[in-house]
């Protein structure tokens, strides 16, 4: 059976913290691959700012280029609408019945699991993998396989704020993403 990790999120923009998380979990759990999957419309974020789902997907594609075992997934962007993990996982399992999926979440999402859509049913069909994140508790009553990774206090919000102030984002995002952001005029630059 193929073992696949899924790292969902807005990726607005993707940054090195996302790549570290995906790569560390891939190696710790010996997964065949980790797919970074941007949400079309995330249910827990009111305003995904000024990058479209297609632009966020393109940035994820740029971020994983040349990194063995990390791939971009257009699954939720292609489906459109609000991206509930339960619906996504149900559809993915139907498409890939011989794949064991591991859904990767950070401490901020661990703290919110009790608010997730159909969480009890979701836990029956996917293994949750949690990683720590600075500033979060990362505890829940739900069964989660925890993986220790180097924690970096970095968020897409911080990157957007830096861009709007004209501050550097060098080393926080891959160079290809910084170039894409400039070329597309994203985040008020």
Please report, in tens digits, the pLDDT of each residue of the chain (189 residues total). 999 999 999 999 999 999 999 999 999 999 999 999 999 987 665 554 579 999 999 999 999 999 999 999 999 999 998 889 999 999 999 999 999 999 999 988 898 899 999 999 999 999 999 998 887 778 889 999 999 999 899 999 999 999 999 999 999 999 999 999 999 999 987
Per-residue confidence (pLDDT) for residue 111, from 0 to 100: 86
What is d(CA 51, CA 64) in angstroms, rounded to the nearest whole number? 18
Domain ranges of the chain: 2-152
What is d(CA 159, CA 11) in angstroms, rounded to the nearest whole number? 11
What is d(CA 152, CA 57) in angstroms, rounded to the nearest whole number? 23
What is d(CA 150, CA 20) in angstroms, rounded to the nearest whole number? 8
The SS3 assignment for 170 reads strand
Calculate the alpha carbon distances from 85 to 113, 147, 163 in Å. 11, 20, 30
What is d(CA 119, CA 116) in angstroms, rounded to the nearest whole number? 5
What is d(CA 94, CA 142) in angstroms, rounded to the nearest whole number? 24
Calculate the alpha carbon distances from 170 to 73, 159, 162, 173, 186 in Å. 25, 10, 11, 7, 16
Per-residue confidence (pLDDT) for residue 16, from 0 to 100: 97
What is the fold of 2-152? Rossmann fold (3.40.50)
- Residues forming a β-bridge with 9: 38
What is d(CA 18, CA 166) in angstroms, rounded to the nearest whole number? 23
Per-residue confidence (pLDDT) for residue 43, from 0 to 100: 66
Is residue 117 a contact partner of residue 85, using CB atoms and an 8 Å limit? yes
Residue 51 phi, psi (nearest 5): -95, 130
What is d(CA 142, CA 123) in angstroms, rounded to the nearest whole number? 8
């Amino acid at each position: 059976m193929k073992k696949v990790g899924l790292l969902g999120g807005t990726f607005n923009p993707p940054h090195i913290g996302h790549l570290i998380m995906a790569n560390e979990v891939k190696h710790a759990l010996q997964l065949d691959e980790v797919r970074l999957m941007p949400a079309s419309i995330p249910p827990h974020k009111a305003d995904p700012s000024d990058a479209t789902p297609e632009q966020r997907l393109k940035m994820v594609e740029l971020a994983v280029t040349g990194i063995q075992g990390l791939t971009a997934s257009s699954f939720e962007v292609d489906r459109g609408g609000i991206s509930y993990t339960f619906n996504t996982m149900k559809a993915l399992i139907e498409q890939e019945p011989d794949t064991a999926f591991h859904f990767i979440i950070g401490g901020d999402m661990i703290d919110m699991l009790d608010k997730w859509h159909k969480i009890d049913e979701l836990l029956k069909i996917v293994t949750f993998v949690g990683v720590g994140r600075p500033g979060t508790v990362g505890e829940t009553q739900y069964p989660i396989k925890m993986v220790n990774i180097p924690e970096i206090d970095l968020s897409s919000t911080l990157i957007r704020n830096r861009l709007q102030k004209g501050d550097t984002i060098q080393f926080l995002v891959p160079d290809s993403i910084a170039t894409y952001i400039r070329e597309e005029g994203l985040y008020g630059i």
